[in-house]
Structure 1
């Protein structure tokens, strides 16, 4: 015989909680119990209820039957619960089975039932606990942990509460089983024998999480890959991720510019010490001739924006986990601090835009790893036909104003640093588009512009972007002197004299290589092209409109 043993009430008269808020909080606990119960990783709902399930209803309506999936099945077993509802209440009834091994605890509370009620007329939310075995620890968890969270959810009225914030693309249950399997198989060995100076607890378990995600994703989306997966981990660092994936039966290679001590532990044959240059024909031939079809960029730093380009050129898919913020030139990615997005969000948008330009199918997810930089991309090629490099060049040139034949990611390795040419970072796409617009306008109308007139003719989206730029339009024009000229005396904007863009005598006599990173606007957009030859002009003549 079960009896009511405890209840708890919370006065909500001062916080305006109505039926909608109450149902929103219920939805969170139904579909995302792991946010309050750290023993749980996800939840699974029954597809249908059978006749035996109906006997538990006792006058109420059984809404569903759910299984709380344990995060650590070695210690806690999964817990089934019936869910009953009646008007403004919801009741959870854990199914307590005597056959469960006493050494394996449940991942949830072991009481007969607990119920949330909204008492609208009394302006109260009530938690009722029903049981005949008064287990103080279980009751305290419901009252001190679950109830305060539930009240907080009622106040916040969170939208899309049924949607997982992490691991949206894969089965969380399969991922958790995979992670536990890898942790048991490799965790102790790797942390005990770690030979790098970095913290093994962070690096080992982070890469175990990434490997678990990839293994689960590859199984679930096997049809997305045209051939069996054969990967290259570019900028593999300590090589742990490569080791884990190869050990699980996949063919792959880790490449980094510097040999690591851990490579000897994992097997030196899995790695290649190579200066990674995205322009290198050696790298392109290595990828294509060995039929690698997936590039992995796990915190690949300066290589991050280049991986989609390299993949497009070498007909590969991409897994990308961006961390540090670099642009195509290998310099720090400069963000716009005047909008409401963080630097990380802006960089993710930057990478996503590159992938869009290159016609990838983009899948984006949030990993469960011990890192704040946990957003990843899976990029799949849309088209099977080969795409010429000129097409890739043109797309990136039109959107970002960069010439990928000359932009260069500096590998930053001391042995090679003196021989590498560092290019200047290219300007934002919006700046390039503004200059392109004004260049075409002056060219077509054959007249100069004042700053105020230039503002008036610019599209609204450009004007909105200019509000966030220090110095405004004048500053943008001055940064593109090779295309437009602003006369400080007359205050007029005109086309630059292209003859002034010639390589100077000092540059010719310099022992340093003249590394052209900016496009020549006259060569690309002027109907008469540039009057200077490629050798004479200080700007790139690679791309033509």
Structure 2
């Protein structure tokens, strides 16, 4: 605050400026949703022949074909045009230098589109970065600006300007408005988030190889699988998420030259798509899950999927496997590294945790109140993995899920000849991390595996008498003060869900919570009576037969037989003024219910 009480924007420091510029260069997809990411072809530490001379307005474009030889030739051409020479000690981006040049390939989100190229010049002393468009002539795209522009830090403020005066294109107008706002935000915001705010996705593998592999598998398996998807889940999410995870594992495994073909077991494999793709791509494995899915029958015979209840015991060890996979494995998540540790010295694991579970199969109880449940659970899993003797890497996947942090083991922290002795300590390690176990607790027998039949938990299994009593309590509250003699039909008042919760007896609320819902789920199940929007509840005006007939969801499913006037009208029986519709118009029957 200044003396007048107004907020004063803190000046941006050079370190913060270059931090934000680095995000822009390495993660351009944050600004432009057309992009998948970027790839750096070279990064040179240089010095200018004359630091007082401005850079040229343009640089030579690349030719159509890009090879390693051409990149070297092109880099020499660029140095000459910029009046610069390469420093003797070339460093990485982490080594500060007076002047840096890098060639960046802008990768499109749609694989069939042409990529673009930018030459980026970073003047560390002047806090100026210049972007040149150097995409080969004739290669049309909409991925990056086709003009030269600069971004600089001056008096603690980030500004942007075109090198050529008079640039007034809509592209420049959008860029100037969007880019400066975002750069300033990156430079000024302070990160109070968890340690798992990993700066880079896919840090453990080659981005370019992943990009190629993902798009190859997307075309090879994804599009057709979406068309024939027999499950009730959303194929656009689940299919492409498994394609992304398979791509990640395949690129990771290809980098390991010690063994070309990997063996794996996917515990809690679900729809089995990940097992299918990895198997079809030449690796040997199997998937286990407590329930068989409809899609299993569609896979070829070489895809091994078994319906088995998995328990963390000596009966479920896999000494012949290179990897134990836990992909959203729920209550098995903390056991994945344990099973890998017990299976063999050379067995590794890939763990992508989602829902937080403890070793006994119950919900994990957060230990650190200053972190989110998810971050605290990741801390818990990381300590478990390390105490089990694993070298553990952490990465962030590019998947359509909010839970995308994964743990990957890469060998052990102890020698192979110590394996037998170390294995004897695993039970004690688990008990040390478990929030419920005592020294005489047998964790394997207390573990609660998921049932083979999935329990329906959407409030539809609650006793009808309980549902009717809650509906009666809420409707009477909404209609409080309604006069049956009033000529105008009264729809009642609007109330917050939190307000209605206070009306329900505790024992009934507990029953609803056990059914994975609550008041809101129950009200939505009774959509013929209540309307729920943005946390607010009101009575719904009764629907006519024409309303039901014109329902777009009915048209979408091409339903020819309308189910109307088959159930008693709730308003006719319970509203003080009855139903405002006539019995010939109302979509429900005007008869007294039992």
What is the deviation of 1:260? Answer: 1.0
Equivalent of 1:176, from 205, 208, 211?
Answer: 211
Structure 1 residue runs of 5 or longer lacking an equivalent are 1-11, 417-545
User: Structure 1, residues 5-35: CA drift from partner, whole Å, max 9, x if none?
Assistant: xxxxxxx984423444433333332333333
Equivalent residues of 1:21, 1:157 under 8 A apart: no
Secondary structure of the residue aligned to 1:46 is strand
Q: Which blocks of at least 5 consecutive residues in structure 2 are unaligned?
A: 1-6, 45-71, 86-97, 456-594
Quote the Cα distance in structure 2 between the aligned partners of 1:259 and 1:137: 54
Label 1:321 to 1:124 Cα distance change in 2 as closer, same or farther (>3 A).
Answer: closer
Paired residues for 1:318-357 under 5 Å: 318-336=349-367, 339-357=369-387
Per-residue deviation at 1:214?
0.8
Q: How far apart, CA to CA, are the structure 1 residues paired with 2:330 and 2:39?
A: 36
Match of 2:116 in 1: 78
Q: 1 CA distance for matches of 2:454 and 2:17?
A: 63
Q: 2:350 and 2:130 mapped to 1: Cα distance?
A: 43
Structure 2 residue aligned with 1:403: 442
| Cα distance in 2 between the residues matched to 1:30 and 1:23 | 10
Q: Which has the higher contact order (CA 8 A, sep 6+)?
A: 1
Cα offset, 1:133, TM superposition: 9.6
1:376-455 pair list within 5 angstroms? 376-382=406-412, 383-385=415-417, 386-387=419-420, 389-400=423-434, 401=438, 402-414=441-453
Residue 95, structure 1, aligned to residue 134, structure 2? yes
Please say if 1:253 is aligned against 2:286. Answer: yes
Quick one: which of 79, 82, 89 aligns to 1:54? 79
Deviations 1:515-539 (A, max 9, x none): xxxxxxxxxxxxxxxxxxxxxxxxx
Query: 1:267: how far off?
Result: 2.7
Between the aligned partners of 2:81 and 2:397, the Cα distance in structure 1 is 38
The equivalent of 1:448 in structure 2 is none
**Superposition deviation, residue 272 in structure 1:** 1.2
Residue 250 (structure 2) pairs with residue 215 (structure 1): yes
Find the counterpart in structure 2 of residue 293 from structure 1: 322
Query: Structure 2-normalised TM-score?
Result: 0.60
Does residue 138 (structure 1) correspond to residue 171 (structure 2)? The answer is yes
Following superposition, the deviation at residue 228 of structure 1 comes to 4.0
Is the 1:191–1:201 contact (alpha carbons within 8 Å) kept by the matching residues of 2?
A: yes
Q: 1:147 to 1:314 in 2, by over 3 A?
A: same
SS of the residue aligned with 1:56?
A: helix
CA contact (8 A) 1:231 1:253 kept: yes
Which residue of 1 is the match for residue 333 of structure 2?
A: 304
| Alpha-carbon distance between aligned partners in 2 of 1:221 and 1:214, rounded to the nearest angstrom | 11
Contact kept in structure 1, 2:269 and 2:288, CA below 8 Å: yes
Alpha-carbon deviation of 1:110?
0.9
Rounded to whole Å, the distance in 1 between the matches of 2:444 and 2:185 is: 54
1:403, 1:78 → 2: CA distance? 59
The alignment partner of 1:380 has SS state of: strand
- What is the TM-score of this pair, normalised by structure 1? 0.65
1:63-105 residue CA offsets vs partner (Å, 9 max, x unmatched) = 21221330434114131314153723221111142153x4xx1
Which whole-Å CA distance do the structure 2 matches of 1:191 and 1:152 have between them?
38
Task: Work out the number of aligned pairs and report it.
Answer: 390
Aligned pair in 2 of structure 1 residues 119, 414: CA closer, same or farther (>3 Å)?
closer
Q: Is the 8 A contact 1:294 1:319 kept in 2?
A: yes
Q: Deviations over 1:396-423 (max 9, x none)?
A: 345544533433242322499xxxxxxx
The answer to whether residue 183 in structure 2 is matched with residue 150 in structure 1 is yes
